[in-house]
Amino acid sequence: MKKSFYLVSGLLFFVTFSLSAQTGPVASFHFGFPISGTNIGYQIGNLVPYAGLDLIRVSFDDKSEYENYSRDSQTGNLFLKSKLEQSSSGSVLLIIPKLGARFYLSTGKSRSIGWYIKGDIMKIIPIFDGESKESYIDYYWNKQVSSSYKMTTDEKRRQSDMIDYWGITVGTGVEYFFSDKFALGGEYGIRLFLNDYTDNFDEANDGDSYYGNKNKSSDEVSNALNLSYTEITLNYYFSRD
């Protein structure tokens, strides 16, 4: 997949600089589900190669409390014997760089409407973080025990390996120039995400020379996610006549 990324990148820029036509930078803002973001491109004739960076952040926060009551043997009244408080929080930041191109098949007689096809390749780079806390209070014996836990570097790496997808986008769109340099449009397409990862587990249980043992396991997983998307786009052409 990496070789394909570099091959497409080199091909796009080779085609760009081999064409002779009107040139100029283009800023594109796209709003859709599940990804919204910004692309910066460079127009040469009907071709607009672009690069972009999208960000997605998902977080959660969970808190729970458990109380244990007991009945007094003399008075028969209930009293709070112990309480357990637990909390956990986490987040994942998805950094998604992309590289692609739009090619305009038609710009209309008045040059106010443009129809294009597009394609790009992207990489999902996930960054995980998470922690949990626990506090146990025993009111009967007047004791309190607290503990906390944070994700280790190895756990973050294993989680990241599960969703560091490569993605390919193919789509088509139409845009309308409501001024000399601004265009508002709509886009529809398909995204394909692919991922392969191997999870190795190696644990030694050292006893004496006779009873010592070692556990090893390996999981190889391949995932594919195919989804359609729609977007609203806003493009600004810096040097359009």
Residue 111's CB is within 10 A of a number of other CB atoms, namely 10
pLDDT tens-digit map of 198-228: 766 666 555 555 555 667 777 777 888 888 8
The contacts of residue 228 (CB under 8 Å, 6+ apart) are 188, 189, 190, 191
pLDDT at 173 over 90: yes
- Beta bridge partner(s), residue 132: 88, 149
The confidence score (pLDDT) of residue 116 equals 94
The confidence score (pLDDT) of residue 19 equals 45
Q: Are 70 and 84 in contact (CB under 8 A)?
A: no
The confidence score (pLDDT) of residue 185 equals 94
Task: Tell me the mean pLDDT in the region 184-193.
Answer: 93
Q: Indicate the Cα dihedral angle 31, 35, 40, 45, nearest 10°.
A: -70
Q: Are 189 and 172 in contact (CB under 8 A)?
A: yes
For residues 25 and 209, the model is more confident at 25
Task: Tell me the mean pLDDT in the region 144-168.
Answer: 86
Q: Where are the alpha helices (DSSP H) in 75-133?
A: none
| Amino acid, single-letter form, for residue 70 | S
- Beta bridge partner(s), residue 225: 193
The contacts of residue 67 (CB under 8 Å, 6+ apart) are 80, 82, 83, 84
Rounded to the nearest integer, the mean pLDDT of the chain is: 82
Range of lowest pLDDT (16-20, 124-128, 162-166): 16-20
pLDDT at 10 over 80: no
The contacts of residue 156 (CB under 8 Å, 6+ apart) are 127, 128, 129
The confidence score (pLDDT) of residue 27 equals 93
**Structure tokens given for 152:** 């280790």
Would you list the domain boundaries of the chain? 2-237
pLDDT tens-digit map of 100-133: 999 998 765 456 888 999 999 999 999 988 899 9
The confidence score (pLDDT) of residue 9 equals 55
pLDDT band at 154 (very low <50, low <70, confident <90, very high): confident
Place of tokens 């929080």: 89
Entry pTM:
0.71
